[in-house]
Structure 1
């Protein structure tokens, strides 16, 4: 192999790597507040459970076109929609909302409700703030 060909073959990848390194500098850290509240999405004020705090974070994947069973939560919790579209409604039919990816929902405490997925699966991250031994839902 000709030495110039070898040199050219090495210079091209090096030039590409150099250009990649010269790309715009990393941007500053961005902080976006998604939620700050003391009440659920239907306006009920939260009360903090008594006792030693215990935080639980779960990932929930709900298949497309699926409704969860009616349930309640005994503690404050916040749901973050990672993927899909989730419709949440109260059992009494008075409240209904639809969430899309990137949105959060401060869930209700001791109010029966359920979530229903749309045409695509839903992926949620839910943050629970309770006490040791407290169930996440009933």
Structure 2
């Protein structure tokens, strides 16, 4: 029995020592810029921010396959990162479009009518809004529904 206990003790001690060694190694922390812009995806430069209490909002938006969001505008700068699927952003006035896939980010337009359209699979998009308290994130174009009805 003592031989078994010594063997078990040695195994536990070896595992503990291995964990200490791993814990003392410095992990490499990486940062990658997904997007850094001073203009929206269509080249329109951003203007100065509104005055007031800053408010940051991050939404995770899930858009079903074969869905066109309503035409809308954003009164504040925002940026989007596509987590999964793909999304085609369409500008209503110019007809320009931009297709973004999982792992890509884009700067959204401000005060310009646009919408997102999904393909054969749902798209999950993280959108960050940099605004002022009380300012809506999105405004529907005349005759259109709101962009998202259920914000939790």
Please say whether Structure 1 and Structure 2 have the same fold, judged by a TM-score greater than 0.5: yes
Question: Structure 1 residues 77 and 10, CA, compared in 2 at 3 Å: closer, same or farther?
Answer: same
Task: Establish whether residue 47 from structure 1 lines up as the match of residue 47 from structure 2.
Answer: yes
Shift of 1:92: 2.4
Number of matched pairs: 137
* Aligned-residue offset at 1:41: 0.7
Change (3 A) 1:20 1:134: same
Q: CA deviation at 1:110?
A: 0.7
Residue 19 of structure 1, CA deviation: 7.9
Q: CA deviation at 1:112?
A: 0.5
Q: Give yes or no for the alignment of 1:68 onto 2:69.
A: yes
Offset at 1:137? Answer: 0.7
Q: How far does the alpha carbon of each residue in 1:19-54 deviate from its partner, in whole angstroms, 9 at most, with x for none?
A: 89988x675111111111111011111113322211
Say whether the 8 Å CA contact 1:48–1:75 is kept in structure 2. Answer: no
- Unaligned runs of at least 5 residues, structure 2: 140-152
Runs (5+) with no aligned partner, structure 1: none
- Distance in 2 separating the partners of 1:103 and 1:26: 29
CA contact 1:48–1:76 (8 Å) conserved in 2:
no
What's 2:35 paired with? 35
Q: Does 1:132 align with 2:133?
A: yes
3-state DSSP of counterpart to 2:73: coil
Q: CA deviation at 1:5?
A: 9.1
Q: Which runs of 4+ in 1 moved over 4 A?
A: 2-23
Partner of 2:57: 56
